[in-house]
Amino acid sequence: MTPKHIWGRRDFVKFGSLGLAGLNLAEFGHLPRARGAEAKERACILIWQMGGAPQQDMFDMKPDAPVEYRGVFKPISSNVPGLQVCEHMPRIAKVADKYCVIRSMTGRTAQHEPAQHWVLTGNAPLATLSFPSVGSVVAREKGAKNGLPPYIAIPGPHYSYGAGFLGGAYGPFAAGDPSDHGYRVRDVHIPTDVNWEEVSDRRLLIKQMDAHFLRDPGVAGTSGANEFRVLDDAYEKALTLMTSDRARKAFNVFEEPGATRDLYGRSPIGQGCLLARRLVEAGARFVQVHNGMNVWDTHQNNFGLLQNELLPQFDAAFSGLLIDLERRGMLDSTLVIATGEFGRTPKINAAGGRDHWPKVWSTVMAGAGVPGGAIIGASDSNAAEVKDSPVTVEDYTATVYERLGIDYTKEYQTPIGRPVRLSSGKHLRFSHRTG
Amino acid sequence: MMRLTIALAALSLRAAEIDRITVEPRAAAVQGPGESHQFLVTAHYAEGGVRDVTREARYAIQDPGVAKAVGPGNLTAVAEGVTQIEIQLEGRKTRAAFVVHPARGKTWEFANDIAPIFSKYGCNNNACHGALNGQNGFKLSLFGYDPAADHEAIVSQGKRLDRTNPAKSLLLQKPVFELSHGGGHLFSKDSHDYRILHDWISDGAPLGSGTAPRLSSIHVAPRGMTVLEREGQQQQLLVMGSYPDGSKADLTRKARFETASDHVVSVSSTGLVTAKGAGEAVILVRTLGQMDAVRIAVTAGRAEVNSRDWPRNNRIDDLVFDKLAKLRIRPSELASDTQFLRRAYLDTTGTLPTAEEAKAFLNDKDPKKRDKLVDSLLDRPEFAQFWALKWGDLFMIQAIYNMNNSPFAHEYFRRNFAGDRPYTEVAREMLTAVGPMASVGPNSFYSREDRRPPEEYATFTSKIFLGLSLECARCHDHPKERWKRDDYLGLAAFFSQVRMKERNGYRPFEGFVALDYTREFRHPQSRQVVKPRLLDGREPLVDAMADRRESLANWITAPGNPYFAKAAVNRVWKQFFGRGIVEPVDDFRATNPPANPALLEGLAAEFAEHGYRFKPLMAMMLKSRVYQLAAATNESNKDDETNFSHYYVRRVAAEPLADAVAAVTGVSDRFVSYYPGKRAIDLPDPGIPSYFLQTFERPVRDNASCERNLAPTVTQALHLMNGDTVLDKLSSPGGSLSRLLSAGAADDQVLDHFYLSALSRYPKLEERAAAKTYLAKQRDRAKAFQGFVWAILNSKEFSFNH
């Protein structure tokens, strides 16, 4: 098997002239979109490499670049000939047939907050409008299933993960850090000194209070009735979480066999991915996992941090997730993504670090019909510029929506009536022939 | 009974006697034969009320050689000259003059004559040919911002035009649906617009000189709110354009009419409005880059009201009730003392009254006790703290961006509110700030670490101080407003001299707002120097060695500024009444007209009269009958969400809610590095950790749309039910409950205490009974009462302001 270099909508000519195996030019451009009903049931796990992961030290190695660019890491071969990854991701190298590397992601800002906002929402930040994150849009489009919150953040929401103008009901549910020894999802357990009978007595008392309030001559018939319903709805969903065994069990990573927990690694990101799998299995629609505020922001000691901590943890977590999803038959119905808000500078700085670099970075996608063992686009010899087939942040969000069976040309209306398209980009057409 | 009243109303309309009829305009002028003009004829009834009778009136043209009638009230010039028009209806008469000037030697101006047609039918909107890639190979600029490009797109390609046989042009065959057209059938072959396009094509489809006078504004008549009483009743709109040379022209046939409330009215492409059902509609009118809007109310099916009997406390009531009477909406009853007490405390100070305060107010027999309470609330320290919090949201004060300025900014706002400093003074101080960023309150306007370029200051200045959303105009002319990109850049140029100076080594993160007089602001594309220009178009003379921001501050805070006072009173109004008179509060524009213009004007005048001090304004609002209306509705106002006919219930926001939980349980929060008892409403920064505040959506202040998100979430419900910040307080040995129980309080005493402290009232008999039934069932008294307080904290009455 050789890597399938797949281009987006633009580069027909190069496509043909490179003559790579596994491609079928005739198919290009009018491939069926992900089949509707099936895609609509798909869920998404986003491994959020917050701070910006280095493209040239992970999935887009440049062994021929000068040493001040390429750094100290060596590439290794993967199980897909022609696709090489960093030597510190040996497990990821063994499952290359399951994922697709986009080497030509490109953004336009080098500051964390706006760049994170951009990637997470698909929109450049505006001072005057707060956009919903992709997770919130998915939550709104797909709704809840089996009593699980549709959009869950592990360990918790960073501020730009929010629901923006869609409103808090579509915001992420914070699951906490499952790598903690005494991990329990916050607030879904009734107080320890109270039993369920007492809880239902108390609930009855609330119901009586509310009924009295709504009958009050100063309130009866208020136009707030609708807001009361939304509050009731939130309490209903909260109670479902508190009482549904299925939902609460989903959060219990301790049920997993030790071997599975080890497969993902016992790090926050590893256990986060394991929890994400459990949640998706139980009905969550979009789960976002990250392992700390800007942890990938390696301005100093880039190679030490990567080698000792970031890469081994990511290696186990990402490969473990793909293996586990596949053996459970969930890979086709789960889109797995690993990306940060930008890449890192081609040239190593004086502190042995790499700084912010939005011009090009790598995003990895798997599952949900995304062909494995494939590469999309290319960067130049120093991983500094896009050489082929740029994939903008908007194209990326369009692709995510399309994979999940959501029409990204749909428009939402903001509170002031401005139409906002879910994504203004174009999705990648994953054209390939199997075999 | 209802039906009878309606029938009578309809009858009275028909039988009513017309006092006089009037016509608009009194004199109409057109440029040469073939041009037409719309007249608007209005009947004024003896008993009050007006009605559009344009379609019923008869028009006698004195000199038929000059003009002829082509539609109801629509006249077309036949030849140069002047004629009188006699207009008659039911014996009432009026007259108008019709002047036909010599034709200007007809020259086409694509931008004025042709481009408006594409706007009128929506051809250039973002769903059709205005889309990024156009539609079917035909692309127009979005909303027609680039006429020259549009002309090029039309004339340069293939069969779009057929100059020898214009009727065979795609440009005509598509909209009349001779050929299949994705945009559908837009107009017919005998329409005015067809004729214009046809003539233009046969004249060679010229671009024109491009020097035609640019329209300076449009005004839609009738002004003020039009009321239609019956379904099917109609109102003709008249769109008059003004040019820089003072001339006027009828643009009714060129304008595009739109309404979002199509269940209330429909509006035709000629500006004829037809009533469909009860309600209010705003009709947006757009042409040649200018916009206006009118408000139409339909009262069909609503019983007449007698507003003279409605009790009033002050002028606010007159202004709100006048509008309600027109809409035939009756206001709700007066709120009870309990309701008023709780809401006045929460809205004004973000704080609940204590059990003792509630008791004292409820027992007070003074008929003036509500006014007394208002005055005392405005003097409380919590008032200043709470409004400093709100102003912190408004100015997006946060340590991360503001170089740790947030405590100083909060303190600055707090003192301004406590001392009721004129808002003009505060605005000037902030706009013209210089000096250390971290430790000087007013400098927070400039201290964002992200080094705002001058454009950002233009955005925030217009939003915060003027209530205008100019952001769209940063990159393109505003699609729904007359703001052009040049307006935005002109405003940005006032900030060109601002410079941030780092003072590394002296104190971490301390920086300095400095001025560099020589710095100019350059156009982002052309790189030309942009001169500072006010939004009214004037370019103030600025001395080269002066702070440009001074002249901007002069304009903003001048008594005649059309935005400043209104934007301020509208924000305050929203806090007390749950909705802005203009909503969203920072989106003032002609096409988003105020729900009640007279009210907004009146409040702004009041604010100015009191020297731009907030307290007199707030006192007036809080003492009004309108503020003190119940949340309950009646048949006539149950659907009202814009005219303040009842109190709009809303959730209590994060900080007041956290404080309320602390107050009811008697256990205060402990925020990192603050003394115990520090209130959440008095926290200067959204970064101060608190799971409770974060869960209840304390704004992170990273975005100028500072509207709070009050929609409940699952996480909030879970936390109020099971969260440690709540449960620990309930069972705390130092808390109110433990203290009451260990002091041997009887059940009734405990119930009273918590009803008073959480809900500002005593429990009713049935509530007392229900609580006692619950208590009797529990084994452990302390735990039982914990459950009771838990229930109150999770009740709707507690978490809503009503």
Helix axes B654-665, B724-731, angle to 10 degrees: 20
Task: Give A364-389 as a DSSP string.
Answer: EEESTTPPSSEEE-EE-TTS-SEEE-
Q: Is the pLDDT of residue B796 over 50?
A: yes
Residue B379 resides in a domain: yes
Whether residues B352 and B430 fall in one domain? yes
Indicate the burial class of A190 (C-beta count within 10 angstroms; 0-12, 13-18, 19 or more): middle
Q: Do B725 and B635 reside in the same domain of the chain?
A: no
Instruction: Find the CATH number of the domain harbouring B53.
Output: 2.60.40.1080
**Mean pLDDT, residues B410-415:** 96
Which chain B residues have a beta carbon less than 8 Å from that of A238? 714, 717-718, 721
Q: Hey, what are A122's tokens?
A: 């698909």
Helix runs in B624-713, H state only: 654-665, 691-695
Q: What is the pLDDT of residue B639?
A: 86
Measured between CA atoms, the residue of chain A closest to residue B260 is A417
| Count of residues in chain A | 435
How many CB atoms are located within 10 Å of the residue A99 CB? Answer: 26
Closest Cβ opposite residue B126 in set A233, A241, A419: A419
Quick one: tokens of B484?
């052009």
- The tokens for B148 are 């020259």
Burial B554-568 (b: 16+ CB within 10 A, else e): ebbbeeebebbbbbb
Summarised one tens digit per residue, pLDDT across range B425-474 is 999 999 999 888 777 888 888 866 555 688 888 988 999 999 998 876 77
| Other beta carbons within 10 Å of B362 | 17
Task: Tell whether A412 is within 8 A of chain B (Cβ).
Answer: no
What mean pLDDT comes out for the span B364-369? 97
SS3 at position B240: strand
Average pLDDT over residues B653-682: 95
Q: Is B789 helix (H, G, I), strand (E, B) or coil?
A: helix
Residues 256-295 of A with CB under 8 A from B: none
Q: Domain total for chain B? A: 4
- Burial (0-12, 13-18, 19+ Cβ within 10 Å), B618: buried
Q: What is the CA radius of gyration of chain B?
A: 31
CA atoms within 13 A on the CB side of A430: 24
ipTM, interface predicted TM-score of the complex: 0.84
pLDDT on residue A17:
27
Question: What is the least distance, in Å, from the CA of B155 to any CA of chain A?
Answer: 29
**Position of tokens 């109270």?**
A194
* Residues sharing a CB contact under 8 Å with residue A420, sequence separation 6 or more, in sequence order: A123, A129, A131, A411, A412, A413, A414
Per CB-CB distance under 8 Å, the chain B contacts of A294 are none
Same domain, B466 and B349: yes
Tell whether the torsion through CA atoms of A253, A257, A260 and A266 is positive or negative.
positive
Regions of chain A short of the pLDDT cut 70: 1-37, 127-128, 158-161, 415-417, 431-435
Q: Say yes or no for a CB contact (<8 Å) between A235 and B799.
A: no
Residue spans per domain, chain A: 4-191+245-421
| Residues A114-152 pLDDT 10s | 899 999 999 987 766 789 999 999 999 999 999 899 999
The C-alpha of B630 sits at a distance from chain A's nearest C-alpha, in angstroms, of 5
Average confidence (pLDDT) over B619-641: 95
Q: Going by DSSP bridges, is the β-strand pair A343-344/A356-357 parallel, antiparallel, or unpaired? A: antiparallel
Structural domain boundaries, residue B157: 110-202
C-alpha triplet A345, A350, A352: angle, nearest 5° = 70
The reply to whether A32 touches chain B by the CB within 8 Å rule is: no
DSSP single-letter state for residue A241: H
Q: Are residues B612 and B538 in the same domain?
A: yes
Touching B: A residues 144-173, CB under 8 Å = 149, 159, 163, 165, 167-169, 171, 173
Among the ranges given (B72-81, B529-538, B583-592, B742-751), the one the predictor scored with the smallest mean pLDDT: B583-592
Instruction: Name the burial class of residue B788, with classes exposed (0-12), middle (13-18) and buried (19+) by CB atoms within 10 angstroms of its CB.
Output: buried
For range B683-703, the mean pLDDT: 87
Whether A206 and chain B come into contact, CB under 8 Å, resolves to: yes
pLDDT, tens digit (0-9, with 9 covering 90-100), for B550-584: 999 999 999 999 999 999 999 999 999 999 999 88
**A195 touches B: beta carbon within 8 Å:** no
Distance CA B660, CA B184 (A): 58
Name the maximum alpha-carbon separation found in chain B: 102
Same domain, residue pair B47 and B99: yes
Q: Is A96 exposed, middle or buried (0-12, 13-18, 19+ CB in 10 A)?
A: buried
Q: How far apart are CA B97 and CA A371, in angstroms?
A: 76
Whole-angstrom Cα distance, residue A419 to residue B4?
Answer: 45
User: Is residue A224 less than 8 Å (CB to CB) from chain B?
Assistant: yes
pLDDT band at B1 (very low <50, low <70, confident <90, very high): very low
Q: Is the pLDDT of residue B304 over 50?
A: yes
Per the domain annotation, does B314 fall within a domain? no
| B446 and B575 fall within a common domain | yes
DSSP of B155-192, one letter per residue?
Answer: HSSGGG--SSSGGG-HHHHTTTTSS--TT-----TTSH
pTM: 0.84
> Averaged over B534-541, what is the pLDDT?
89
CATH classification of A4-191+245-421, choosing from 2.30.29, 2.60.40, 3.40.720, 3.40.50? Answer: 3.40.720
Contact between residue B430 and residue B550 where contact means Cβ atoms under 8 Å apart = no
What pLDDT is attached to residue A21? Answer: 32
Number of helices and strands (H, E) in chain B? Answer: 27, 27
- Asked if residue B65 and residue B117 are part of one domain, the reply reads no
Per-residue pLDDT at B6 exceeds 60: no
Contacts of B784 (CB under 8 A, 6+ apart): B774, B775, B778
CA distance B423 to chain A (A): 23
- Which of B696, B713, B754, B786 to probe by mutation at the A interface, max A CB count within 10 Å? B713
The CB-based long-range contact list for A58-62 (8 Å cut-off, 24+ gap) reads: A58/A85, A58/A86, A58/A89, A58/A311, A58/A362, A59/A85, A59/A86, A59/A101, A59/A103, A59/A362, A59/A364, A60/A101, A60/A103, A60/A362, A60/A379, A60/A383, A61/A85, A61/A86, A62/A381, A62/A382, A62/A383
B518 DSSP 8-state letter:
T
Q: Is residue B152 part of a domain?
A: yes
Q: B632 and A216: CB-CB below 8 Å?
A: yes
**A169 neighbourhood in chain B, CB within 8 Å:** 711-713
Q: Is the domain of B115 the same as that of B164?
A: yes
Q: Do residue B508 and residue B607 come from a single domain? A: yes
* B405-430 mean pLDDT: 95
Which of B107, B125, B153 delimits the end of a domain? B107
**Is the residue at B554 inside a domain?**
yes
Is B240 within the bounds of a domain?
A: no
Residue that the structure tokens 């009735």 belong to: A225
Residue B292 lies in a domain: no
* H or E, element range at A138: helix A134-142
CA distance A189 to chain B (A): 7
**Percent of chain B as helix, strand, coil, to the nearest 5:** 40, 15, 45
Could you give the CA distance from residue B200 to residue B549 in angstroms, rounded to a whole number? 49
Do B596 and B682 share a structural domain? no
Q: Is residue B269 part of a domain?
A: no
B217 neighbors B242 (Cβ within 8 angstroms): yes
Q: Is residue B132 predicted with pLDDT exceeding 70?
A: no
Residues B605 and B741 in one domain: no
Measured from the Cβ of residue B133, the count of other Cβ atoms closer than 10 Å reads 8
Per-residue model confidence (pLDDT) at position A139: 96
A299 touches chain B (CB under 8 A): no
CA-closest candidate to residue B53, choices B87, B86, B26, B97: B87
Query: Three-state DSSP class for A342?
Result: coil
B716 to A234: CB separation less than 8 angstroms, yes or no: yes
Nearest CA in chain A to B479: A418
Q: How many residue pairs from chains A and B have C-beta atoms closer than 8 A? A: 192
Q: What is the three-state SS of B351-398?
A: CCCCHHHHHHHHHCCCCCHHHHHHHHHCCCHHHHHHHHHHHHHHCCCC
B406 in a structural domain: yes
What is the reported pLDDT for B541?
79
The crossing angle, in degrees rounded to 10, of helices A196-215 and B781-793 is: 50
Q: Would you place residue B9 in the very low, low, confident or very high pLDDT band (cuts 50, 70, 90)? A: very low
| Unique residue bearing structure tokens 């206001």 | B331
| Residue A352 in tokens | 């042995």
Sign of CA dihedral B248, B250, B256, B262: positive
- Which residues have CB under 8 Å from B14's CB, separation 6+? none
Check whether B591 has a pLDDT greater than 60.
Answer: yes
A227 touches chain B (CB under 8 A): yes
A368 vs B258: CA distance, rounded Å: 43
Same domain, yes or no, for B486 and B546? yes
Reported as half-sphere exposure (CB side, CA atoms, 13 A), residue B392 has a value of 33
Beta bridge partners of A45: A287, A336
B631 neighbourhood in chain A, CB within 8 Å:
218-219, 222, 224
pLDDT at B595: 94
Q: What does the pLDDT read at residue A263?
A: 98
Name every chain B residue with its beta carbon within 8 A of the beta carbon of A167.
709, 711
With vertex at residue B486, the alpha carbon angle to CA B485 and CA B490, rounded to the nearest 5 degrees, is: 125
**Percentage of chain B surpassing pLDDT 90?**
60
Average pLDDT, chain B: 89
